[in-house]
């Protein structure tokens, strides 16, 4: 069976005559294909040589081998600069995100029967990996079995460079939804 990705590459070569760039796989959903598109940022492209393309198109590759080779080719080797300005060379790869969630937890607290809600308390332990003090925002969700948020909240705190802190807050969930909570999620972002 020929994969959709292989069919898209063949179509690009047939209709455009060449294929010299791949789109980074982490930019688009895995089931999307784009041909001759101008709506993808230049930083999402990775140049591919004719030799690399020939190795990618090898019909002897299994689907898994093809996907692995595509991921290797579509991963930038150097950090590109925008708008045709070249690329950084010799930069160490980024080893940690600017801010990261180390752990998170939550627990139900008070029940507000009159309005049918339950208060819950949550905590996220985060680390500022930057060399400067930053405001860290934590977006917290209680999720059902399908990963759909049943309750959400956000809180923020100034965090010193390389400091680990607990960011805490409370929020509310409809009491009827509480038995449907299967997991939680905390996402940290840097603010101004």
**Could you tell me the residue ranges of all domains in the chain?**
4-73, 99-190
How many of the other CB atoms lie within 10 Å of CB of 58? Answer: 10
Q: Which CATH superfamily is domain 99-190 in?
A: Immunoglobulins (2.60.40.10)
- Give the pLDDT score at 40: 65
In the chain, alpha helices (H) = 4-16, 50-56, 63-73
- Per-residue pLDDT band at 38 (split at 50, 70, 90): low
Tens of pLDDT, residues 65-81: 888 888 788 776 655 55
Would you call 41 exposed, middle or buried from its count of C-beta atoms within 10 A (0-12, 13-18, 19+)? exposed
- Cβ atoms 99, 128 nearer than 8 A: yes
Whether the model clears a pTM of 0.85, i.e. scores above it, the answer is no
- Cβ atoms 69, 55 nearer than 8 A: yes
Q: Residue 48: beta bridge partners?
A: none
Query: Across the chain, what does the average pLDDT equal?
Result: 82
- Give the pLDDT score at 89: 47
Q: Under 8 Å CB-to-CB from 169, ≥6 apart: which residues? A: 121, 122, 140, 153, 154, 155
- Give the pLDDT score at 134: 93
């Amino acid at each position: 069976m020929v994969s959709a990705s292989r069919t898209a590459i063949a179509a690009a070569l047939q209709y455009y005559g060449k294929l010299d760039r791949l789109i980074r796989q982490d930019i688009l959903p895995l089931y999307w294909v784009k041909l001759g598109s101008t709506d993808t940022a230049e930083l999402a492209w990775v140049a591919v040589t004719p030799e690399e393309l020939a190795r990618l198109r090898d019909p002897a590759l299994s689907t898994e081998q093809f996907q692995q080779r595509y991921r290797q080719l579509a991963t930038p080797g150097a950090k590109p600069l925008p708008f045709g300005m070249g690329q950084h060379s010799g930069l160490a790869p980024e080893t940690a995100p600017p801010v990261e969630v180390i752990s998170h937890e939550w627990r139900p607290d008070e029940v507000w029967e009159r309005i049918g809600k339950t208060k819950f308390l949550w905590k996220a332990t985060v680390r500022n990996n930057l060399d400067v003090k930053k405001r860290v925002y934590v977006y917290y969700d209680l999720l059902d079995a399908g990963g759909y948020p049943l309750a959400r909240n956000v809180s923020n705190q100034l965090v010193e460079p390389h400091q680990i802190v607990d960011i805490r807050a409370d929020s509310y969930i409809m009491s009827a939804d509480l038995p449907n909570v299967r997991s939680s999620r905390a996402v940290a972002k840097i603010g101004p």
